[in-house]
Chain A
Amino acid sequence: MEDTEKTLQEAEEEVVDEFSMFDEWLDKYEYLIELGKSLKDYPEADKTEDRLIQGCQSRVWLDYKVQNGRIWFNADSDAIITKGIISLLIKIYSGRTPEEIASSDFSVVDRIGLKENLSPTRANGLVSMIARIREIASENR
């Protein structure tokens, strides 16, 4: 990640600011679609059962590696808006220490209105993604 100088809280604020520029939900989706498309390639071989996040309507794989005490995430989904959402999370939480991740309350997803604007099944998927990120952080403390 190029901008690890930013604190996690600053990265969260940046996402909230970016989202607040859009009035229309369709524009927010356009933005998520762009984010999803720009997510770096995820190896086909890593689309394994153990990397699959349970509870999502579309399939989402989340992989990570730990380097110098920081956790780096990579993810993919067969649905592009879902991919956009997870890339949003990666933007904020990748390259952080487990402690930093643990310190976040993840309220950013509420502040940008993602949760209430997704169908319940989709919102559950988002909750599952966050839960998995937290789990990975706590396993690597």
Chain B
Amino acid sequence: MFPALSRKVYGKALVYFDNAATVQRPQSVISRWRDITEKSNANIHRAVHLMAEEATEAYEEARECVRGFINAGSKEEIVFTSGATASVNLVAFSFGEAYVREGDEVIVSEAEHHSDIVPWQMMCQRRGAVLKVLPVDDTGHLMVDKLDNLISPKTRIVAVAHISNVLGLVNPVKDIVEKCHSKGVPVLVDGAQGIVHRAVDVRDMDCDFYVFSGHKIFAATGTGVLYGKKKWLDRMPPYMGGGEMVGHVRFSGTTYAPLPLKFEAGTQNFAGVATLKPALETAMMMRGEGSGAAGSCLALRRELVENEAAVRDYLLDKLLNNNRIYLFGVPSVPEEKIPLFSFSVEGAHHEDLALILDKMGIAVRSGQMCAEPLMDRFGVTGMLRASLLAYNTLEEAEYFIASLDRAIKMLV
């Protein structure tokens, strides 16, 4: 089902534990991309010929799939971008233009990915606003109580991850949204990791913006989603100008297309976007959701969910009970943690460990993981991260632990 997972590296079976960076594509996604490219390669929303109609239909069908997947109220609220980073940049720019003035404040958490920090910093510089930080505690939990004091009458927006790409803990985003809304402050949720591991209902969460990348949820690279409440998107100016996003263009002035096209300037990645449909079907299966027609399919779904929990609990136990290992992001209850483990090993550099594990066939991430402020918070120059998905097995996790032990022995 996932062609890349059956490849060999250095003559060994690949153990792919870098899923938080990107996941492997299922055959259905690869086929979808190839189908569109081979048969329906035409620019969308413009021409009247058959190929253009097919491409447009595939693109808009993906929009409806995304809408349903996150239970948004309307397709107008689903904007396609090139990824979560582009989505945050869009909001930071356009929301900033419309709502942020000199002396205003923006709050982000200490555990954010650079992509949910830098766009806000840039916007604050442009608008003369101030960036404030919601801290995390030693176990990696957001100190949500501190929000009450951080939010002031000048706070314009709060940006926070659904699940941190380093800590792997599910943040209480619904509570955060409620807290912020009680003071009239909108919230952007960075769902790059969250969308993969938790069912998301944006209306229930009541967030104002939710962003994610396609490539982390099985779709083609270069695809991303911005969900935004219509009331905000309507009043935000376009981020980029050009084809597709216009109503009428005169040298005396231009009017803009209605939502969501207002934010989709230029030829879109339509072949990539079309893969979101099979991708989201895969994601639902991995999470044990959706209505599987066949009984065997239901059994497979249940099996995947049970497997993921079992693998998570196994690794949590092994890593927490090794006194050489320091795990960042320790859950209060296992359910709060996704199978993502960032840790450091006493006496062994993360880069050395990753290099040795690579030669053992195991792909993990090492370094700052695009979260330098969080590295500083924990006083480390980097970490080692193993991030799994439901397609990873307990055997792979056992091999990883044995290999990690061997690598540590080589180094210390």
Contact = CB atoms under 8 A, between A and B. Distances in A.
B200 interface: no
B411 interface: yes
Interface in B315-365: 348-349, 351-352, 355-356, 358-360
3 closest residue pairs by CB, A with B: A79-B349, A79-B351, A25-B359
B349 A29 contact: no
A80 interface: yes
A78 B359 contact: no
25 contacts: A25-B10, A25-B359, A26-B356, A26-B360, A26-B410, A29-B355, A29-B359, A29-B410, A30-B410, A33-B410, A33-B411, A78-B381, A79-B351, A79-B352, A80-B352, A81-B351, A81-B352, A81-B355, A81-B356, A82-B351, A118-B355, A119-B355, A119-B358, A122-B351, A122-B355
A26 B411 CA distance: 12
A120 to B, nearest CB: 13
B237 interface: no
Q: How large is the interface on B (under 10, 10 to 19, 20 to 34, 35 or more residues)?
A: 10 to 19
B367 interface: yes
Contact of A57 (B348, B351, B359, B360): B351
Interface of B: 10, 348-349, 351-352, 355-356, 358-360, 367, 381, 410-411
Contacts of A30: 410
Contacts of B360: 26
Nearest to B367: A57
Given A26-B360, A29-B410, A80-B411, A59 B381 contact: yes
A119 B359 CA distance: 11
Contacts of B367: 57
A58 interface: yes
Interface string A61-83: 00000000000000000111110
A58 to B, nearest CB: 5
Contacts of B359: 25-26, 29
Contact of A78 (B349, B355, B356): B349
Nearest to A37: B411
A138 B10 CA distance: 39
Contacts of B348: 80
Nearest to A29: B356
Contacts of A57: 351, 367
A41 to B, nearest CB: 17
A25 B9 CA distance: 12
Contacts of B358: 119
A119 B367 CA distance: 13
A29 B349 CA distance: 14
Nearest to B368: A57
A35 B317 CA distance: 35
A59 B367 CA distance: 12
A34 to B, nearest CB: 10
A59 B380 CA distance: 13
Nearest to A56: B351
B328 to A, nearest CB: 18
A26 B352 CA distance: 12
Interface in A3-31: 25-26, 29-30
A59 B349 CA distance: 11
Nearest to A58: B351
A26 to B, nearest CB: 5
A20 B87 CA distance: 50
Nearest to B360: A26
A25 B360 CA distance: 9
Contacts of B355: 29, 81, 118-119, 122
B364 to A, nearest CB: 12
A21 B358 CA distance: 21
A57 B354 CA distance: 12
A82 B410 CA distance: 14
Contacts of A33: 352, 410-411
B143 to A, nearest CB: 30
A58 B366 CA distance: 10
Nearest to A26: B359
B8 to A, nearest CB: 14
B303 to A, nearest CB: 34
Contacts of A59: 381
A58 B356 contact: no
Given A26-B356, A82-B352, 10 more contacts: A26-B410, A29-B410, A33-B352, A33-B411, A78-B381, A80-B352, A81-B351, A82-B351, A122-B351, A122-B355
A84 to B, nearest CB: 9
B356 A80 contact: no
B409 to A, nearest CB: 10
A127 to B, nearest CB: 17
